[in-house]
Structure 1
């Protein structure tokens, strides 16, 4: 391990310790953060794969107040269910090939696909699609006929490493995620499954920050670095066991560290119950380096309802303390 990785592990441990001593008055804030993270995780992980719906439809799907009306919403609903399953049952989900198949089946449960819950039956490729429309093959995963054996071996190696404390658990989790993506065991859903397994393994290692702060959102926000480090750490060298895990491990730890920093900031920011919604909005805008949307403000101030935030924003505009810039979905709030 290089010094950068050691330093990140140390910082994560320190911040994790702080979150474990949260005062009781912050518990209701954590409950709201869980709700926000579920929406952001489901949205971000699917958007990475080009699967999305409107914000209104997304919230209804997460709340299970509507049924999916197209293929994208079917896949979003499947992700929601697997995410909830992991949140609520992670201690009882072992890291095995059968567990992975069961989660994959649930991921595609709302679709008409017949291959959900089955390993790929034909060879596939890892392809990068660029904004200008062209695509490039980044990596040719192992052939389909050895997929089950590779996944079983990966799970066995992971469990043995955890049991023997070969490396810090977060490093083992990162290596597991990289190897899973490199095997690319499914016809579809490999990226989403890798991020769901990221949550499962980190939860089982007692790093549950992804429950409160969306790791998937942080990955989507750094998508270029995500794909770059996957390529640098895997690529063609992976099949010859000559790859370098460090770039991806370093990136993965950066995501976990950022999440713990954000969680501590959220707790510090929202723990003062003496501030009303208007004061919290002003405080959020003062701390922000950019204009904030109403949704972003709601996520930052989870202890107040959407109605309270709306009323406070209207009042602050009337008092000429804030301005609204942009229109429609691009609307953002700034201080006067």
Structure 2
């Protein structure tokens, strides 16, 4: 039977690369602790952008999406969902908001996870929300060309309730023991949740929501202001690869967590780097035009208005839109694409 040895994580050897990433994450957390009290307005803007980006990216990974306008209106609770995709988007929005606001009151227990899953499907006609799977399933990777690959066969449905209880208890006990860095325990918990695949539907979205929750409860609040979901979406190929590499021997407790944890640390480190970079410029006032041009120069690719808003939290959406139009009129930038996929690049 699968067990969760969170005291050693299957005798995990913390590599020098992992140690360096953990150290850098700690340093960036310290910098943010000094910057945050002075930059409340900037953080508030980042929070609103991150909510939209996270809801969009996590659902889009699963092939669930709507228009940019309706997405923003749904996240801001200004409209009601009108189809299945928007119902699922609305459920994600509500769980995301709940974790942001109430994470301190959400112990990592099977009952907590079931309650969150129920809310994820609250707007849909689905009958399995808040219930563990009643049939065996497989973890299938869907590639961009439409082809699929069965990556892993999770634990059978009959074993799932006990496995989820054991997982949560093993994780919480290891946190109290503090023998292993909390950030590694968080990554291992997310990986094992995905490997159990405890629900008929919504496992991927729940894994990303639980990533936010376990990080919050361990003192890593970067997911409030930077969309971790977006970073995962941008690196989907690597994400699926490390899941597969860390899955070998999972049921026999012989798997290695190293590939997934190394990836997990990279995503968390990039999140902190992005947040520090976006907060720090607020200390020296630079024009919106200059920041837009700099962002486009450094990106080395076209950027959407939403992406620019996330990179330039010192200015409002209205200001960024106005300056984009000015740069277009001055023929300093051009549009790439139309409608939902409109982006901008330097001439």
SS in 2 for 1:158: helix
The alignment status of 1:271 with 2:283, answered yes or no, reads: yes
> What secondary structure sits across from 1:20 in the alignment?
helix
Query: How far has the Cα of 1:306 moved from its partner?
Result: 2.2
Partner of 2:116: 103
Following superposition, the deviation at residue 23 of structure 1 comes to: 5.5
Alpha-carbon deviation of 1:182?
0.8
| Runs of 4+ in structure 1 over 4 Å off | none
Determine the structure 1 residue equivalent to 2:180. Answer: 167
Please tell me whether residue 283 in structure 1 is matched to residue 294 in structure 2.
yes
When residues 317 and 131 of structure 1 are mapped into structure 2, their CA distance, relative to the original with a 3 A threshold, is closer
In structure 2, list runs of 5 or more residues that go unmatched: 1-13
CA contact 2:222–2:275 (8 Å) conserved in 1: yes
**Separation in 1 of the partners of 2:308 and 2:45?**
13
Quote the Cα distance in structure 2 between the aligned partners of 1:220 and 1:23: 27
**Alignment partner for residue 258 of structure 1, among 266, 270, 276?**
270
Return the match for 1:9 from 6, 14, 22: 22
Aligned residues: 333
TM-score (norm 2): 0.92
Q: Note if contact 1:142-1:239 (Cα within 8 Å) is conserved in structure 2.
A: yes
The match for 2:210 is 197
Alignment gaps of 5+ in structure 1:
none
Q: Deviations over 1:123-157 (max 9, x none)?
A: 11111223333322221111111111000000000
Q: Which residue of 1 aligns with 2:255?
A: 243
Q: Give the 3 Å change call, closer, same or farther, for CA 244–28 of structure 1 in structure 2.
A: same
Q: What corresponds to 2:242 in structure 1?
A: 229
Counterpart contact for 1:119–1:147, Cα < 8 Å: yes
Equivalent-residue separation in structure 1 for 2:330 and 2:133 (angstroms): 60
Partner of 2:333: 323
- Give the TM-score taking structure 1 as reference length: 0.95
Task: Kindly report which structure 2 residues correspond to 1:7-156, keeping only aligned pairs within 5 A, or say none.
Answer: 7-22=20-35, 24-156=37-169
* Matches of 1:108 and 1:88, distance apart in 2: 19
